[in-house]
Amino acid sequence: MKKFLNDPVNFVDEMLEGIYGAHKELTYVADDKRCMVTAKPKAGKVGIATGGGSGHLPLFLGYVGDGMLDGAAVGGVFQSPSAEQMYQVTKQIDQGAGVLFIYGNYSGDIINFDMAAELADLDGIQVKQVVGNDDVASSVVGEEHKRRGVAGIFFVYKAAGAAAAEGLSLDEVTRIADKARSRTRTMGVALSSCVVPEIGHATFSIGEDEMEIGMGIHGEPGISRKKLAPADKVIDEMMERIFAETDYKQDDNVAVLVNGLGGTPLEELYILFRRVAQLLDQRGVKAKHVWVGEFATSMEMAGASVSVLHLDEELDRLVAAPANTPFFKHCILR
Amino acid sequence: MKKFLNDPVNFVDEMLEGIYGAHKELTYVADDKRCMVTAKPKAGKVGIATGGGSGHLPLFLGYVGDGMLDGAAVGGVFQSPSAEQMYQVTKQIDQGAGVLFIYGNYSGDIINFDMAAELADLDGIQVKQVVGNDDVASSVVGEEHKRRGVAGIFFVYKAAGAAAAEGLSLDEVTRIADKARSRTRTMGVALSSCVVPEIGHATFSIGEDEMEIGMGIHGEPGISRKKLAPADKVIDEMMERIFAETDYKQDDNVAVLVNGLGGTPLEELYILFRRVAQLLDQRGVKAKHVWVGEFATSMEMAGASVSVLHLDEELDRLVAAPANTPFFKHCILR
Amino acid sequence: MDAIKASDLIRLFETWQSLFAEQRDFLISLDGKVGDSDLGITMSKAFAAAAEVVAAEGEGAGISKLLRTAGATMARTAPSTMGTLTATGFLRASKATEGADVLGTGEAAAFWRAFRDGVAERGKAKLGDKTLLDVLDPIAVALETAAGSGEPLAKALAAASDAAERALEATKSMLAQHGKAAAFQEKTIGLQDAGATVGYFLVRSMAEFADS
Amino acid sequence: MDAIKASDLIRLFETWQSLFAEQRDFLISLDGKVGDSDLGITMSKAFAAAAEVVAAEGEGAGISKLLRTAGATMARTAPSTMGTLTATGFLRASKATEGADVLGTGEAAAFWRAFRDGVAERGKAKLGDKTLLDVLDPIAVALETAAGSGEPLAKALAAASDAAERALEATKSMLAQHGKAAAFQEKTIGLQDAGATVGYFLVRSMAEFADS
Ligand SMILES: Nc1ncnc2c1ncn2[C@@H]1O[C@H](COP(=O)(O)OP(=O)(O)O)[C@@H](O)[C@H]1O
Ligand SMILES: Nc1ncnc2c1ncn2[C@@H]1O[C@H](COP(=O)(O)OP(=O)(O)O)[C@@H](O)[C@H]1O
Ligand SMILES: [Mg+2]
Ligand SMILES: [Mg+2]
Ligand SMILES: [Mg+2]
Ligand SMILES: [Mg+2]
């Protein structure tokens, strides 16, 4: 294990200390660093909370800030935070307009967020939930509810965050989040494993010349393991899966997110995007908003994912709205 | 070699195609994708050009945009761009107020930028040069002119870019760039090698439990190779070198950049920053502006660097000014 | 022993703590086959924390209160799927043993019935879905039967442990429907479920404890 | 041969092209020891491109024009330190051979003198700094001496090649002062300089060419 760390047991808490030190616009409640909230709550706004395991930066907490989220419960590496932590975040960010939970479809998180929603309900806080399930590789069409949530949750945060910033109601923000969720598809590919600090060795092994298409962000198995193909071929195979279950029409607009899993250089992500753009072009689909970088990682895992959000007019506007969080900034200066 | 690529020979050009596809605010001149310029030139402003080898994204081209740079000549992986390409960029971005070259202290780049400056001079374009040499590990005090330029060049871009955006003259922008340069110190540490696509194997080898303190971003040797120490110890050793040659006083302000070399997860960078903040704190020095992330990489190399800019009032203002480039955004939304 | 007293319960948590410390690596590798390798870590953490707080609280608190403290502590320290389900189990067992001074066969049956129901409600799994529930149910059923026929505690728990062992074996032929393992589909066939293994460990070690 | 004609020069570039294609891996590993491993790539690219353009341009262009095309092409295709220095060398050699129909000993001396001066000016290295310049200088000096005493081209180039070989050997004891190698300090002692190796390869292969 080749990591910059002290005692692996303190990995998450020391990371959080670093984050609070660097980003004064973030703070925490309940005397628990893992209950992160924005330092600048906006009166009357619908609160949006997320949460999940650590090891995925900038996911999840990195999107707490203007125009996106209001709080995040932070778990151990690849571990759900506790219901108690989610509840504390929820209490803090409720501004009387209710709270929307947006998180990924993993049993640990669901069980805990459900418990947190029950606790908040006892306090009279209205809570809604939208559970990201964008990973096409993790279950077949018709069984979408079994799909894992991966990088595409970024689009759900972005659309819902912008809607909440516009002052929409909890029902409206939930409707929009759910629309963004249902119109987002992601395919991923992994080239190498990550190492959970407290475990100290690779989560899975993969041959020096192999890739796994569809692998999950905790190393969950994908669709096929095969010899690493040229970048264009990898994208062709991934995009084929996405195209197979979407009904993009000529001149439709999409937003594209090419996400690095952590160990893959930015240069390669642009080589991948180049091919994504070509394929969209061939279908007459316009990549109206494009982000390339690390948005949802698995620590040092090498690999990438492509997420596509099928825009409509409303999502187009919301995705393009300004945002300013420690890890994601979208601004127009002139 | 485990990379997403097609023919390694096309690595840089395909990367650039991806970048132009994703970022419409960038364009190029001379019918050469490697001559990158902003699509939104600002009349009368001092132009700032940079350039250098590929493989360091977001360096160099990633900082072309509002409040920072106006153009970048893009070389092959770890290769200088040509004098001709630098000259073409220079011609395009000159708005009559002259052009400042800011680049790193590497012989290939110097030789070519010198040649480009000569060519521009023949056209009557006023050119000044500031050569980044922040890497403390690469030469001793008194021989600073031999030091390599690494991640700290970010601060030079930021300060000079803000000064140019304020409408200052070429002399003033140059003075500020040079001041930021002379007040910036960087120390790096590498844990693993990168792979140059056309070479196909690791540039250097390093033991499974080793680190190299002071290693350069092309794999140039550092100060010492030893067993990987706990994160805090690594930072202690790095910061000691920086403290040894700076004269921070109680209540002085600094800007800090904790930079990942590519393969190191963001989580670990924050663990490193945590210790940097503690050490600054112990000296009563305030980390007034902090950035943590990937700012100057070596493709998949695992490792990190810490850059510290000793602020004065002027640099404080300029570093905090807004910027909006494809890879670096600094914005205040409310 | 005929019945587990509050002071025994504190020692039982110690036993569980060492059990999961010992089984840490085994559970990591078991969960690693079709999951994310965390189970050994979460379980050893959860029971270490629980053992510590119940010891600190002391026997004076009584059975129900100790179980509640254990459950709440687990929920905080190990909020993974299994951590939260196990925590829910102990919290429900606490409710079910309110007022009980000791755990005899009847109280043990109530304990495990409540534990099972809590896990079923929170996790929404069905029997046969290859989860913890698939061993909790036979444990509860075996203890209810034993309680009905007035079996002594040690014997009742031994029967429950045997039932759990068989049930764990039976999970091998099931197809995982929940959690990270569900992604592995057919590959889960032939493997015993990791969470069910934890359930079996819990009851076996409780049976051995009662027998000592 | 007594003199290198424009048509010969085109073939000489072909020879250099295959030389650097062959030596690609050797130069990569040489530069890798105390540098960044790119030298084999840049030199093979530079000479492949140069050989192609001079062949396309054809002998009609004449010696000086061919050298100029070669230099300009190299500057574009291989703008590394050595690429740009070599390009500068050829551009200066082009200037120095303006009007010459062939390269006899006198013109070869002018060629290499200009090459050396160009590299010295652009790179600002001093003799003994462990660079390309440390072989270029003895090459130029040897050719000037040979021209002074009226030696035939093949013999003059052979002497220059020998001088270069000795000079290359001598770089082993020098401490690198420029480029990426400078960082390696003492570690560069004992190693021959990579750029100087290229200089030696160039003249040796030119000598062999003239001797054939
Ligand atoms: N919905 C559920 N209901 C009951 N048990 C479940 C459920 N989902 C998963 N499990 C159990 O949890 C075990 C995995 O636990 P754990 O490793 O904590 O999960 P994760 O790492 O996915 O959070 C499985 O082996 C299974 O027995
Ligand atoms: N200033 C200089 N003047 C002359 N030769 C130089 C100079 N700097 C470097 N060199 C030569 O260049 C060689 C390295 O070339 P190259 O690999 O192209 O450099 P880089 O990869 O650093 O751009 C060295 O071995 C040395 O001979
Ligand atoms: Mg990374
Ligand atoms: Mg990276
Ligand atoms: Mg698990
Ligand atoms: Mg080199």
Q: Does residue C88 line the site of ligand 1, with CB under 6 A?
A: no
Q: Give tens-digit pLDDT for D62-85.
A: 999 999 999 999 999 999 899 999
Most D-contacting residue of B77, B106, B111 (CB-CB within 10 A), to test interface: B111
Nearest residue on chain D to B51, alpha-carbon basis: D79
Q: Are the C-beta atoms of residues A211 and A226 closer than 8 Å to each other? A: yes
Q: Which helix (H) or strand (E) holds D203?
A: helix D194-211
Q: Which of A108, A204, A216 sits opposite C84 (nearest CB)?
A: A108
Which percentage of chain B shows pLDDT scores above 90? Answer: 92
Q: Does residue C97 line the site of ligand 1, with CB under 6 A?
A: no
Q: Does residue C23 line the site of ligand 1, with CB under 6 A?
A: no
Q: Which of D37, D80, D122 sits opposite B199 (nearest CB)?
A: D37
Contact C56/A at CB under 8 A = no
Contact D171/B at CB under 8 A = no
B109 CA to centre of ligand 2 in angstroms:
11
Which percentage of chain D shows pLDDT scores above 70? Answer: 100
Local structure of A152: helix, strand or coil: coil
* Closest-lying ligand 1 atom to the alpha carbon of residue A79: 23
Q: Please confirm, yes or no, whether A310 is among the known catalytic residues.
A: no
Q: Identify the band that residue C4 occupies on the pLDDT scale cut at 50, 70 and 90.
A: very high
Instruction: With CB atoms and an 8 Å threshold, state whether B85 touches D36.
Output: no
Instruction: With CB atoms and an 8 Å threshold, state whether B203 touches D122.
Output: no
pLDDT score at B274: 98
pLDDT score at D212: 87
**10 Å Cβ neighbour count for A282?**
8
pLDDT score at C36: 79
* Residue type present at position D206: M
The ligand 2 site (C-beta within 6 Å) comprises B 107-108; D 31, 35-36, 38-39, 42, 80-82, 85, 119, 123-125, 131-133, 178-181, 193-196
Which percentage of chain C shows pLDDT scores above 70? Answer: 100
Most C-contacting residue of A82, A135, A139 (CB-CB within 10 A), to test interface: A82
Closest residue by CA, ligand 2 atom 14: D195
CATH number at residue C70: 1.25.40.340
Q: Give tens-digit pLDDT for A64-123.
A: 999 999 999 999 999 999 999 999 999 999 999 999 999 999 999 999 999 899 889 889
Token readout for C94 is: 């606490």
Which residues of chain B are within 8 Å of residue D85 when distances are taken between CB atoms? 111
Ligand nearest to the CA of B299: 4
Which residues of chain A are within 8 Å of residue C89 when distances are taken between CB atoms? none
Number of folded domains that form chain C: 1
Contact A15/B at CB under 8 A = yes
pLDDT score at C89: 96
Lowest model confidence (mean pLDDT) among A54-63, A296-305, B234-243, C27-36: C27-36
Residue A216 DSSP symbol: -
Closest residue by CA, ligand 1 atom 20: C81
Q: Are the C-beta atoms of residues C174 and C128 closer than 8 Å to each other? A: yes
Which percentage of chain C shows pLDDT scores above 90? Answer: 89
D116 CA to centre of ligand 2 in angstroms:
14
Distance CA A266, CA A258 (A): 10
Q: Give tens-digit pLDDT for B256-295.
A: 999 999 999 999 999 999 999 999 999 999 999 999 999 9
Using alpha carbons, list the distances in angstroms from residue A283 to A239, B14, D67: 12, 21, 49
Total-model pTM: 0.90
Identify the domain containing residue D85 by its residue range. Answer: 4-211
Nearest residue on chain A to B267, alpha-carbon basis: A15
Q: Which of B106, B107, B109, B217 to probe ligand 2 with, by most ligand atoms within 8 A of CB?
A: B107
Instruction: With CB atoms and an 8 Å threshold, state whether A108 touches C80.
Output: yes
Q: Which of A4, A23, A57 sits opposite B231 (nearest CB)?
A: A4
Instruction: With CB atoms and an 8 Å threshold, state whether A196 touches C38.
Output: yes
Give me the helix-helix angle, D105-123 and D81-96, nearest 10°.
140
This model of the complex carries an ipTM of 0.86
Q: Which of D83, D122, D183 sits opposite B221 (nearest CB)?
A: D183
Q: Give tens-digit pLDDT for A2-38.
A: 999 999 999 999 999 999 999 999 999 999 999 999 9
Give A245's Cβ-side CA count (13 Å radius): 21
pLDDT score at A126: 98
Instruction: With CB atoms and an 8 Å threshold, state whether B80 touches D179.
Output: no
Token readout for C16 is: 């569980």
Local structure of C64: helix, strand or coil: helix
DSSP H helices in chain C = 6-22, 24-33, 39-57, 63-77, 81-96, 105-123, 133-148, 153-171, 194-211
pLDDT score at A122: 82
pLDDT score at A333: 60
| Residue ranges of B 10-69 with Cβ closer than 8 A to chain D | none
| CA distance, residue D164 to nearest chain B CA (Å) | 24
pLDDT score at D186: 84
Q: Are the C-beta atoms of residues C46 and C79 closer than 8 Å to each other? A: no
Using alpha carbons, list the distances in angstroms from residue A225 to A188, A214, A241, C3, C191: 12, 9, 16, 54, 21
Where are the CATH 3.40.50.10440 domain residues in chain B?
Answer: 8-182
Q: Give tens-digit pLDDT for C49-105.
A: 999 999 999 999 999 999 999 999 999 999 989 999 999 999 999 999 999 999 999
Provide the strand spans (E) within chain D. 4-5, 102-103
Lowest model confidence (mean pLDDT) among A161-165, B315-319, D186-190: D186-190
Q: Taking 90 as the threshold, does the pLDDT of residue D35 lie above it?
A: no
| CA distance, residue A299 to nearest chain B CA (Å) | 5
Q: Taking 90 as the threshold, does the pLDDT of residue D180 lie above it?
A: no
pLDDT score at B333: 60
Distance CA B130, CA B113 (A): 11
Which percentage of chain A shows pLDDT scores above 90? Answer: 92
Chains C and B touch (3+ CB pairs under 8 A): no
HEC secondary structure over B193-234: CCECCCCCCECCCCCCCEEEECCCCCCCCCCEEEECCCHHHH
Residue A85 DSSP symbol: H
B55 CA to centre of ligand 3 in angstroms:
14
Distance CA C196, CA C200 (A): 6
pLDDT score at A291: 98
Q: Does residue C168 line the site of ligand 1, with CB under 6 A?
A: no
Domain spanning B8-182 has what CATH number? 3.40.50.10440
For domain A184-321, give the CATH superfamily.
Dihydroxyacetone kinase; domain 2 (3.30.1180.20)
Q: Which of B111, B198, B199 sits opposite D123 (nearest CB)?
A: B111
Instruction: With CB atoms and an 8 Å threshold, state whether B54 touches A263.
Output: no
Chains D and B touch (3+ CB pairs under 8 A): yes
DSSP H helices in chain B = 11-22, 83-93, 107-122, 153-165, 170-182, 231-244, 266-282, 313-319
Of B23, B56, B289, B310, the active-site residue reads B56
Local structure of B28: helix, strand or coil: strand
Q: Give tens-digit pLDDT for C118-142.
A: 999 999 999 999 999 999 999 999 9
Nearest residue on chain A to B77, alpha-carbon basis: A267
- The candidate with the shortest Cα–Cα distance to B79, out of D31, D39, A123, D122, is D39
Q: Please confirm, yes or no, whether A56 is among the known catalytic residues.
A: yes
